[in-house]
């Protein structure tokens, strides 16, 4: 385990403002729990194909999980592209929450450093705001395995634009 304590995400709050936390239902609960209007339909997207489940979204923090199974490269390790997709998904959701009504977030830069591999289980990504500006939002995304070991550190910058 790393020397740094693993932060637990804050409890979900009802959405009151664009930057307020919003709980996102799990896939199992999605049929019975109404999704917030600010979130998009994930059916048929890469998010669904990778099995990403976003569990918390606010402007400052987004948390989600992804299974390793089905997201590996030919050598049986978690694919770096799948990890990058998890990072971009979480940072983008948080950036949209920061952007607010009538605005959208467009990823303009993503980098990822892969520290160790995973062969099984579920990974958890946590996107924390580094910069929340009027036109740009930047997030550091840490992806950890079930034992809290850091697998990847990514940084995503999104440009905030008017929605079409």
Is 88 marked active-site?
Answer: yes
Query: Phi and psi for 66 in degrees, rounded to 5?
Result: -150, 135
Question: What is the CB neighbour count within 10 angstroms for residue 139?
Answer: 30
CA distance 54 to 62: 8
- Gyration radius of the chain's alpha carbons: 15
Which stretches of 27-149 are assigned E, i.e. beta strand? 53-57, 61-67, 103-114, 122-132, 136-144
Query: Phi and psi for 9 in degrees, rounded to 5?
Result: -65, 150
CA distance 131 to 24: 23
**Which 3 state secondary structure label does DSSP give 80?**
helix
Catalytic residue among 28, 42, 88, 144: 88
**Which 3 state secondary structure label does DSSP give 82?**
helix
Give catalytic residue positions.
Answer: 88
């Amino acid at each position: 385990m790393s020397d740094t304590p693993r932060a637990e995400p804050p409890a979900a709050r009802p959405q009151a403002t664009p930057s307020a936390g919003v709980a996102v239902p799990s896939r199992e609960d999605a049929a019975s729990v109404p999704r917030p209007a600010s979130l998009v339909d994930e059916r048929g997207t890469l998010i669904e194909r990778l099995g990403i489940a976003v569990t918390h979204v606010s402007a400052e923090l987004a948390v989600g999980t992804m299974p390793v199974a089905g997201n590996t490269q030919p050598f049986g390790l978690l694919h770096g592209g799948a990890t990058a997709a998890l990072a971009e998904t979480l940072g983008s959701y948080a950036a949209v929450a920061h952007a607010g009504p009538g605005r959208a977030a467009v990823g303009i830069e993503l980098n990822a450093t892969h520290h160790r591999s995973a062969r099984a289980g579920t990974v958890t990504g946590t996107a924390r705001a580094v910069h929340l500006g009027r036109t740009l939002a930047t997030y550091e995304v840490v992806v950890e395995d079930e034992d809290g070991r850091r697998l990847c550190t990514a940084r995503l910058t999104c440009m905030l634009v008017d929605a079409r």
